[in-house]
Amino acid sequence: MSSPADRAKIILYDYERFSQLAGPLTEPEPGRPYRVQYRSMLAGEPHRVRAVLLMVAALVVEFTMMAWLLLPSHWTVRVDPYGMLPWYIPVADKVMLVAIALIEIFRLVSVVSNVHAMLAARDPLPVPPEPGSRVAFITTCVPGKEPLEMVRETLSAALQIRHDGVLDVWLLDEGDDPEIRELCDWLGARHFSRKGVPEWNQAKGSFRAKTKHGNYNSWLDAHGDDYDFFVSVDTDHVPLPEFCERMLGYFRDPRVAFVVGPQVYGNYTAGVTKAAESQQFLFHSLIQRAGNLYGAPMFVGTNNAVRIRALKQIGGLYDSITEDMATGIEFHRSRDPETGERWMSVYTPDVLAVGEGPSSWTDFFTQQLRWSRGTYETLLTQFWRAAFRLSPGRLFNYSLMVTFYPMSALNWLLAGLSATLFMAVGGSGVTVPMDVWLMLYGDAALLQVMLYTWNRRHNVSPHEPEGSSGVAGMVMSALSAPIYVASLIGAALRRPSKFVVTPKGDSASPDQIATFRIHLWWAVIFGGGLLLTVFWTGHVHLVMTLWVFLALVICLGPLATWAWTSRGNR
Residue 193 phi/psi, 5° resolution?
-145, 140
Whether the CA torsion 368, 371, 376, 377 is positive or negative: it is positive
CB 345 within 8 A of CB 260: yes
In this prediction, residue 79 carries a pLDDT of 83
Give DSSP secondary structure letters for 381-425. IIIHHHGGGS-HHHHHHHHHHHTHHHHHHHHHHHHHHHHHHHHHH
In this prediction, residue 427 carries a pLDDT of 85
Alpha-carbon gap, residue 398 to 291, rounded angstroms: 8
In this prediction, residue 84 carries a pLDDT of 79
Identity of residue 229:
F
User: Three-state DSSP class for 135?
Assistant: strand
Q: How many residues does the chain have?
A: 570
Alpha-carbon gap, residue 473 to 243, rounded angstroms: 27
Alpha-carbon gap, residue 268 to 270, rounded angstroms: 6
Of the chain, the end-to-end C-alpha distance in Å amounts to 21
- In the sheet that holds 190-192, the strands lie side by side as 190-192, 166-173, 134-141, 229-233, 303-307, 256-260, 344-347
Q: Where are the domains of the chain?
A: 4-34+122-359
Which pairing describes strands 256-260 and 303-307: parallel, antiparallel, or unpaired? antiparallel
CB 493 within 8 A of CB 525: no
Alpha-carbon gap, residue 297 to 398, rounded angstroms: 9
Angstrom distances, CA of residue 230 to CA of 169, 193, 390, 436, 520: 10, 17, 25, 58, 44
How big is the CA angle at 347 (ends 344 and 353), to the nearest 5 degrees?
130
CB 400 within 8 A of CB 113: yes
SS3 content of the chain, % helix, strand, coil (to 5): 55, 10, 35
Provide Rg for the chain, Cα atoms: 25
In this prediction, residue 5 carries a pLDDT of 47
Q: Buried b vs exposed e over 531-550: b needs ≥16 C-beta within 10 Å?
A: eebeeeeebebeebbebbee
Alpha-carbon gap, residue 142 to 12, rounded angstroms: 30
CB 313 within 8 A of CB 201: no
- Nearest CA to 138 out of 219, 18, 44 is that of 219
- Nearest CA to 230 out of 357, 140, 321 is that of 140
Alpha-carbon gap, residue 243 to 234, rounded angstroms: 14
Strand partners, 232: 138, 304
User: Among the residues of 121-177, which ranges form H helices?
Assistant: 148-158
Whether the CA torsion 407, 412, 413, 415 is positive or negative: it is positive
Which pairing describes strands 256-260 and 344-347: parallel, antiparallel, or unpaired? parallel
User: Three-state DSSP class for 501?
Assistant: coil
CB 385: neighbour CB atoms within 10 A? 10
The CATH number for 4-34+122-359, chosen from 3.20.80.10, 3.90.1200.10, 3.40.50.300, 3.90.550.10, is: 3.90.550.10
- The 8-class DSSP code of residue 29 comes to P
Q: Cα 110 from chain centroid?
A: 15
In this prediction, residue 494 carries a pLDDT of 82
Angstrom distances, CA of residue 204 to CA of 170, 210, 214, 327: 25, 10, 9, 16
CB 136 within 8 A of CB 170: yes
Which pairing describes strands 38-40 and 229-233: parallel, antiparallel, or unpaired? unpaired
Alpha-carbon gap, residue 175 to 521, rounded angstroms: 38
In this prediction, residue 456 carries a pLDDT of 92
Alpha-carbon gap, residue 371 to 425, rounded angstroms: 37
Alpha-carbon gap, residue 220 to 184, rounded angstroms: 19
User: Three-state DSSP class for 495?
Assistant: coil
In this prediction, residue 7 carries a pLDDT of 45
CB 82: neighbour CB atoms within 10 A? 6
- The 8-class DSSP code of residue 138 comes to E
User: Whole-prediction pTM value?
Assistant: 0.92
- Nearest CA to 136 out of 308, 343, 350, 284 is that of 308
Alpha-carbon gap, residue 107 to 98, rounded angstroms: 14
SS in 3 state form for 216-278? HHHHHHHHHHHCCEEEEECCCCEECCCHHHHHHHHHHCCCEEEEECCCCECCCCCHHHHHHHH
In this prediction, residue 507 carries a pLDDT of 57
In this prediction, residue 505 carries a pLDDT of 55
Query: Residue-wise pLDDT tens for the chain (570 aa)?
Result: 445 444 444 456 889 999 999 999 999 988 899 999 999 999 988 889 999 999 999 999 999 999 999 999 999 988 877 777 888 899 999 999 999 999 999 999 999 999 999 999 999 999 999 999 999 999 999 887 888 999 999 999 999 999 999 999 999 999 999 999 999 999 999 999 999 999 999 999 999 999 999 999 999 999 999 999 999 999 999 999 999 999 999 999 999 999 999 999 988 888 899 999 999 999 999 999 999 999 999 999 999 999 999 999 999 999 988 899 999 999 999 999 998 999 999 999 999 999 999 989 999 999 999 999 999 999 988 998 888 899 999 999 999 999 999 999 999 999 999 988 988 888 888 999 989 999 999 999 999 999 999 999 999 999 988 888 889 999 999 999 999 999 999 998 888 766 555 555 555 678 899 999 999 999 999 988 888 777 777 677 777 888 889 999 999 999 999 988 877 666
